[in-house]
Chains A and B, each alone.
Chain A
Amino acid sequence: MAPPRSPSSRATTAKRETLEDRALAQASSPPLPPRAGIGLKPEHYRAVLDSAAEDLWLEVHPENYMVAGGPRLAWLEAIRARHPVSFHGVGASLGGPDPFDADHLRALKELIARFEPAVVSEHVAWSAARGRYFADLFPLPRTDEALCWLASRIDAFQTALGRRILIENPSVYLPLKSEMDEPDFLVELCARTGCGLLLDVNNVYVSANNTGFDANAYLDTIPGHLIGEVHLAGHESDARKGEALLIDTHGAPVSAPVWALFHRLIERVGSRPTLIERDANIPPIEELMAEREQANVVLQRQLELA
């Protein structure tokens, strides 16, 4: 179960060139527009397919489409014919002790080949061990050992998929003893593997609240060129500890302080594809589209300034 130490730091330069070549080879799928998209939910398939919203893009968990056939795939195909799509994976367990799941990897590659997502992302987390899948995102201490292990896994995952991925910063609930700050940890992972960042502003807010750091200072540290996508979501207070422990439930509207962090981030780095992410207490699509519009106002203003 011991993860091997990674040799990837020695191969950084060569690795980057290969991945840039791969990125060019992917030019057939159009990039996500630097506007706001929404997470695609089955209850909204029809409304999304019929939507005339300009520059709308959709994000899905590819694991929800790892099925033999039927309407789910048909809906995604119809929607993909009209709008760009991104894949936000939840099942790779990049930071975990087990080898990659061969069935999962095969299914993911088939879906990528079929739907040509503009972006593929995953989490800086682990979710499987001892043959069991936990359907959750477990934390890792930010140590040199974890950094090397994650870098080797991201490298292997990108190689298996034949493309660059974005990695998402976690929501932190436990103050794990660590050797480096999270921004440094993430930036170093990007440097070693050529991957980019999916910056989840709500996760930064939740983690800052739960472990006591300055969310603005964190965001100000992230180099803009690494940010390929931004996530905005809602959180809820823990039933036992209240506001002292915020849980990243994706079950509520984006909160005011997260909007404020988002404004500041976009003013600094420029517009980025931004997802309104909602996975629980799914509201009518109009509510998600209203949040999308709120994000678009910020993104549009920045595009006009640029």
Chain B
Amino acid sequence: MNALATFYDAFLDAVMEQRPRALQYCLDDPARADDAIVYRNTIFRGSADALATAYPAVARMAGAAFFDTLAVAYVASAPPRTRSLVGYGQDLAAFLSEFPGAEAAPYLADAARLDRAWLEAHLAPDAPSLTATDLSASAPEDIAALKLALHPSVHIVSLTWNVYNAWVANRLADGSEQQARTVDRIDTWVLLWRLDNEVQHRRLGQGEATFLRALQSGQSLGEAATTALQAADDFDTSSSFAGALNAGVLASFQNPGAEGAT
């Protein structure tokens, strides 16, 4: 083993395994080995700050102290592996739902799902939205057979807690910290997508959520409407379709028989 390889191992041992004595052999002043803790702190701070940036509503709702505890545990369990931290923290919602101490606020995992969907909508590829003009190329009787993809930024999030309002309040940069102690356990759906380079979000009814998911899974417009009506008998196909079209939620346009959207 050469000296540099030995040094890498000793450094990681000192910093990651908290054994600073491992570094004494290569210091001019062995008593300074404890200063290796500086790196441990900055490593943690870098990843924890990336998490707090990705999950601003969760950080506020959880409070700084609890979020730091959570971040320490998450970084230890799922350390960064890519050289960009922009998308770091992909599994925080699942981690939160199992995290000791989060039982008192079980809705935090749902808030994390919303923060994550916001980030993914924000970073998604650019793509043009479908317009009414695009649709006018099809004869009216052919519309029901169209397979329409959703814009790549679209996320349809299913929640078991009615956390949407609290989440919105906590996303606002100037909103004060809200503990949201009165969140009810009710199935809800939220749509997040990007329009004109700004992330949008709104609550969805069960029918609308089912409709958009059916389109996403490759069903034609007519099939998706049928699926949505089976899930919610008050589903209104024409207003839901017009709403999605006008909001830029639909993307490119595929002919009947083409492969379904992803």
Interface residue A68 (Cβ < 8 Å from any Cβ of B): yes
A91 to B16, CA, bound (A): 19
| CB nearest to A68 among chain B residues | B125
How far is the CB of A196 from the nearest CB of chain B, in Å?
A: 23
Which residues of chain B come closer than 8 Å to A70, judged between CB atoms? 122-124, 126, 153, 194, 197
| CB nearest to A66 among chain B residues | B84
B38 and A238 contact, CB distance less than 8 A: yes
- Tell me the chain A residues, 65-103 only, with Cβ under 8 Å from chain B: 66-74, 91-93, 96-97, 101, 103
Q: Which of B29-37, B90-98, B104-112, B242-250 has 4 or more CB atoms under 8 Å from chain A? A: B29-37
Q: Which of A21-29, A127-135, A225-233, A268-276 has 4 or more CB atoms under 8 Å from chain B? A: A127-135
A240 to B2, CA, bound (A): 34
Partner of B86, one of A67, A104, A238, A280: A67
A129 to B49, CA, bound (A): 21
A133 and B197 contact, CB distance less than 8 A: no
Q: Which of A50-58, A155-163, A170-178, A254-262 has 4 or more CB atoms under 8 Å from chain B? A: A170-178
Interface residue B216 (Cβ < 8 Å from any Cβ of A): no
A67 to B27, CA, bound (A): 40
Interface residue B85 (Cβ < 8 Å from any Cβ of A): yes
Partner of A104, one of B4, B11, B84, B87: B84
Which residues of chain B come closer than 8 Å to A138, judged between CB atoms? 11, 15, 39
Interface residue B47 (Cβ < 8 Å from any Cβ of A): yes
Q: Which of A8-16, A30-38, A142-150, A295-303 has 4 or more CB atoms under 8 Å from chain B? A: A142-150
B1 and A175 contact, CB distance less than 8 A: no
| In the complex with contacts A143-B4, A149-B4, A174-B36, A135-B47 CB distance below 8 A | yes
Partner of B43, one of A72, A134, A146, A174: A134
Which residues of chain B come closer than 8 Å to A143, judged between CB atoms? 3-4
Interface residue A46 (Cβ < 8 Å from any Cβ of B): no
Interface string of B20-51 (1 = CB under 8 A from A): 00010011110011011111001100110110
Q: Which of B75-83, B181-189, B233-241 has 4 or more CB atoms under 8 Å from chain A? A: B75-83
Q: Which of A67, A93, A96, A129 has the most CB of B within 10 A?
A: A67
Which residues of chain A come closer than 8 Å to B47, judged between CB atoms? 135
Interface residue A3 (Cβ < 8 Å from any Cβ of B): yes
A281 to B80, CA, bound (A): 23
A71 and B38 contact, CB distance less than 8 A: no
B83 and A69 contact, CB distance less than 8 A: no
Which residues of chain A come closer than 8 Å to B87, judged between CB atoms? 67
How many A residues touch B, CB cutoff 8 Å? 52
B27 and A176 contact, CB distance less than 8 A: yes
Which residues of chain B come closer than 8 Å to A118, judged between CB atoms? none
How far is the CB of B28 from the nearest CB of chain A, in Å?
A: 4
How far is the CB of B47 from the nearest CB of chain A, in Å?
A: 6
- Tell me the chain A residues, 187-229 only, with Cβ under 8 Å from chain B: none
A103 to B84, CA, bound (A): 10
Which residues of chain B come closer than 8 Å to A67, judged between CB atoms? 84, 86-87, 123
Which residues of chain B come closer than 8 Å to A103, judged between CB atoms? 82-83
B11 and A177 contact, CB distance less than 8 A: no
Interface residue B8 (Cβ < 8 Å from any Cβ of A): yes
A136 and B5 contact, CB distance less than 8 A: no
A103 to B79, CA, bound (A): 18
A115 to B2, CA, bound (A): 40
A241 to B37, CA, bound (A): 11
A256 to B27, CA, bound (A): 30
Partner of B197, one of A1, A66, A74, A128: A74
How far is the CB of B21 from the nearest CB of chain A, in Å?
A: 13
B28 and A3 contact, CB distance less than 8 A: no
Interface residue A166 (Cβ < 8 Å from any Cβ of B): no
B39 and A136 contact, CB distance less than 8 A: yes
| In the complex with contacts A69-B125, A103-B82, A238-B38, A175-B28 CB distance below 8 A | yes
Interface residue A247 (Cβ < 8 Å from any Cβ of B): yes
Which residues of chain A come closer than 8 Å to B124, judged between CB atoms? 68-70
Interface residue B12 (Cβ < 8 Å from any Cβ of A): yes
A104 and B80 contact, CB distance less than 8 A: no
| In the complex with contacts A70-B197, A133-B81, A2-B126 CB distance below 8 A | no
Interface residue B7 (Cβ < 8 Å from any Cβ of A): yes
A146 to B7, CA, bound (A): 10
A241 to B123, CA, bound (A): 41
Interface string of A234-250 (1 = CB under 8 A from B): 00001011000101000
Task: List chain A positions with a Cβ less than 8 A from chain B.
Answer: 1-3, 63-64, 66-74, 91-93, 96-97, 101, 103-104, 107, 126, 128-136, 138-141, 143, 145-146, 149, 173-177, 238, 240-241, 245, 247, 280
Give 10 pairs: A residue, B residue, CB < 8 Å, sorted on A. A2-B5, A3-B4, A66-B86, A67-B87, A68-B123, A72-B123, A133-B82, A138-B15, A173-B36, A240-B37
- Assuming A136-B46, A176-B27, what are 6 further A-B pairs, CB within 8 angstroms? A63-B86, A69-B123, A74-B197, A143-B4, A146-B4, A174-B32
Task: List chain B positions with a Cβ less than 8 A from chain A.
Answer: 1-5, 7-8, 11-12, 15, 23, 26-29, 32-33, 35-39, 42-43, 46-47, 49-50, 79-87, 122-127, 152-153, 194, 197-198
